[in-house]
Amino acid sequence: MLERIIEYTFKDKELLNQAITHSSYFNEKRDIRQSENEKLEYLGDAILNSVITILLYKKFKDKDEGFLSNARSCLVKRETLTEVAKAIDLPQHMFYGNGDQNVPEDSKVLSNMVEALIGAIYLDGGMRKVTRVIKNLFMPYFNLERLTEKNPKNLLQEYSQKRWSILPKYKFARKTKGGFTVIAYIGKDLKAKGMGKSKKEAEQQAARLLLQGLTETDGA
117 or 34, which is more confident? 117
Residue 115 among known ligand-binding residues: yes
* pLDDT at position 142: 95
* pLDDT at position 159: 92
In the set 3, 14, 36, 45, the catalytic residue is 45
pLDDT at 106 over 70: no
What is the pTM assigned to this prediction?
0.74
Q: With contact defined as beta carbons under 8 Å apart, do 139 and 80 qualify?
A: no
In the set 36, 115, 201, 203, the catalytic residue is 115
Average pLDDT rounded to a whole number, residues 34-44: 86
Task: Please state the separation of Cα 147 from the chain's center in Å.
Answer: 15
- Of the pLDDT bands very low, low, confident and very high (cuts 50, 70, 90), residue 33 is low
Q: With contact defined as beta carbons under 8 Å apart, do 106 and 82 qualify?
A: no
When mean pLDDT is compared across 24-38, 141-155, 201-215, the lowest value belongs to: 24-38
- Of the pLDDT bands very low, low, confident and very high (cuts 50, 70, 90), residue 219 is low
pLDDT at 30 over 70: no
Q: Identify whether 45 is a catalytic site residue.
A: yes
Percent share of the chain, pLDDT over 90:
59
- Name the average pLDDT for the chain: 87
- Of the pLDDT bands very low, low, confident and very high (cuts 50, 70, 90), residue 183 is very high
In the chain the domains, ranked by start, together with CATH numbers, are: 2-147 (1.10.1520.10), 152-219 (3.30.160.20)
Distance separating alpha carbons of residues 17 and 13, to the nearest angstrom = 6
Average pLDDT rounded to a whole number, residues 73-86: 92
**Among candidate residues 116, 94, 115, the one with its CA nearest the CA of residue 103:** 94
- The sheet with strand 179-186 has its strands ordered as 169-176, 179-186, 190-196
* pLDDT at position 188: 87
116 or 66, which is more confident? 116
Residue 112 among known ligand-binding residues: yes
* pLDDT at position 96: 66
pLDDT at 186 over 90: yes
**Among candidate residues 215, 153, 162, 216, the one with its CA nearest the CA of residue 185:** 153
Average pLDDT rounded to a whole number, residues 106-119: 89
Say whether 169 sits in a helix, a strand or coil. strand
Summarised one tens digit per residue, pLDDT across range 11-26 is 999 999 999 987 655 5
Summarised one tens digit per residue, pLDDT across range 150-162 is 888 888 998 999 9
**Among candidate residues 184, 162, 150, 170, the one with its CA nearest the CA of residue 66:** 150
110 or 104, which is more confident? 110
